[in-house]
A and B are shown apart, each in its own frame.
Chain A
Amino acid sequence: DAGVTQSPTHLIKTRGQQVTLRCSPKSGHDTVSWYQQALGQGPQFIFQYYEEEERQRGNFPDRFSGHQFPNYSSELNVNALLLGDSALYLCASFLGADNEQFFGPGTRLTVL
């Protein structure tokens, strides 16, 4: 049983560019959350998708947007990249009322 998978593993972009990160949830999971982990900090909640809708959003600007597909996979899009967007982006999935969230290995984004 494959766990949560994310692609790409690493990514280098320049300021002002746009980036799309991808996540496939654990089999049977219908909810996907995205987190940003800056160096030396804990993961910060970006938003959560359920039934192809954004159900909840953290304190991130509109430059961060997402999408969930019918197969429950998800994308995170970041426009107009800033140097401060450099971080590890983690995707987590879970099912319904289950509080345990399973995390993927993350995508390391570097903005130059």
Chain B
Amino acid sequence: DQQVKQNSPSLSVQEGRISILNCDYTNSMFDYFLWYKKYPAEGPTFLISISSIKDKNEDGRFTVFLNKSAKHLSLHIVPSQPGDSAVYFCAASAANDYKLSFGAGTTVTVRA
């Protein structure tokens, strides 16, 4: 039962443009959402998170938007850089539950 879904397996974007990654979830108990970035041969590294009490969180070039009514979140990367080429995972957890539920990932390729 996949509770977190990333429906776009891949995304190609030109350097300097915006990358938008989408994520949907089905479990209404989820109240904390995270994005992880993964390079080959490395473990996922934390990128940005958002609590369900907010609808937006920004950190430098990265912004996460949360739409609770639609059970949807998105990650915006502006401007995209070649070093952003990686697999991005959306993850979620419920209150008092430190287990993370992950989506299948979106592979981002930033073209020069």
Contact = CB atoms under 8 A, between A and B. Distances in A.
Q: Which residue of A4, A31, A45, A48 has the most chain B CB atoms within 10 A of its CB atom?
A: A45
A42 B91 CA distance: 9
A102 B36 CA distance: 10
10 contacts: A35-B102, A42-B102, A43-B89, A43-B100, A56-B99, A90-B43, A101-B46, A102-B46, A103-B44, A105-B41
Nearest to A58: B99
A58 B32 CA distance: 19
Interface of B: 4, 6, 32, 34, 36, 41-46, 49, 89, 91, 93, 97-105
By size class, the interface of chain A is: 20 to 34
A110 interface: no
Nearest to A3: B43
A4 B42 CA distance: 11
Contact of B104 (A4, A33, A42, A94): A42
Given A44-B102, A48-B99, A90-B44, 16 more contacts: A4-B43, A33-B98, A35-B102, A40-B104, A42-B89, A42-B91, A43-B89, A43-B102, A45-B99, A45-B101, A48-B98, A92-B43, A94-B98, A99-B49, A100-B34, A106-B43
B43 A33 contact: no
